[in-house]
Amino acid sequence: MNKNLQEKITDIQNKVDFSGSVFVEEKDKVLAEQSFGYANRSDQIENNSATRFGIASGCKLFTAIAVCQLVEKGKISFDSKLTDCLDIELKHFDEKVTVHHLLTHTSGIPDYFDEDVMDDFEELWLANPMYHIRKLKDFLPLFQDEPMKAKVGESFHYNNAGYILLGLIVEQTSGLEFSDYIQAHIFNKANMTNSGYFAFDSLPPNTALGYIDKTDGTWKTNIYSLPVKGGSDGGAFVTAYDMAKLWRELINYQLLNEIYTNQLLTPHTQVNESGFYGYGIWLKKNTENNIFKYHIMGYDPGVSFHSAHYPDLSINVVVCSNKSDGAFDIMSGIEEEIKRSKH
């Protein structure tokens, strides 16, 4: 499969002008490790296997793991009410909202970026400049006084604000700033030595800038399109290899015990015919109704990210891109190749 897989990746890269890093492993064997494009176009610095990429909503998984760790320690429970976990006024929010509802996008609370209302993520920063958003509480004015969107527990509606609140619960329960908690209890534990929540105005070395390509062939970076520092709903930076480490540690019960790992990986909410949502993670079932893959993804201006663990095959795939699209095409091609080679 290696040779075919690598050719397939290169082939798709040529078609879609993919910029980023790809890492595929089966058990302990690396099947593909390739990088394309520039981490910095102005200085023509190429992406490499140690380049850090923003992964947008891919990090909802980190937030969910953090919450499950606190439940495992007995500090909170999945049935804990939002109002009991946070000393923040959310006057229009239904008191029945629980940690479980927030984790599964079924809380019905308003979102700060509502895709039904807004097309362009950058519209958010007109009233609340992105350069003021460095801590989780800085996101609150974007949604805390809005009315409920739906009844609690009624339906799945993807919600970034819910994950901001989960991050605030992590902060209040642990006494640590959210990014420090993730660093200590997830990144350090999983030996993800090159990952972190970094501010745009002080990025560490070997971090890819995110690029937004315009139709006329010009481009700009995403530095004015996103908050200065990512929150608990998205915005960490990882290397492709570090992300593969996370899958390994999670699946081998190194981040949570078996009971809570299984809770995280349970299909709690059905999203479409074969798609489900666990805690911070998407699940896809096959025709026999077994889990075909656990996967996460993230999209922001200048960021596209897909990663998956295929439990029956012990395969981990990570695709990080510093452009607004491209990761999906590479991910789909890899999956096709995996399916083909296993039949």
Task: Decide if pLDDT at 116 tops 70.
Answer: no
State pLDDT tens for residues 182-230: 999 999 999 999 999 999 999 999 999 999 999 999 999 999 889 999 9
pLDDT tops 80 at residue 337? yes
Considering the chain, what is the average pLDDT of its residues? 94
Q: What is the pLDDT of residue 284?
A: 97
Residue range(s) defining the domain that contains residue 150: 1-341
- pLDDT single digits (tens) 141-187: 999 999 999 999 999 999 999 999 999 999 999 999 999 999 999 99
Residue 1 has pLDDT above 70, yes or no: no
Task: Quote the pLDDT of residue 113.
Answer: 74
pLDDT for 127? 75
CATH, residue 163? 3.40.710.10
pLDDT tens-digit map of 240-255: 999 999 999 999 999 9
User: Is pLDDT at 120 greater than 80 in this prediction?
Assistant: no
Of 93, 59, 57, 97, the closest CA to residue 78 belongs to: 97
pTM: 0.96
- The model's pLDDT over 7-47, given as tens digits with 9 standing for 90+, comes to 999 999 999 999 999 999 999 899 999 999 999 999 999 99
How many domains does the structure of the chain reveal? Answer: 1
- Decide: helix, strand or coil at residue 42: coil
Give, in order, the Cα–Cα distances in Å from 190 to each of 74, 220, 244, 272, 281: 22, 34, 10, 32, 18
Q: Which of 148-152, 259-263, 287-291 has the lowest mean pLDDT?
A: 287-291
Q: What is the pLDDT of residue 128?
A: 76
Which 3 state secondary structure label does DSSP give 73?
coil
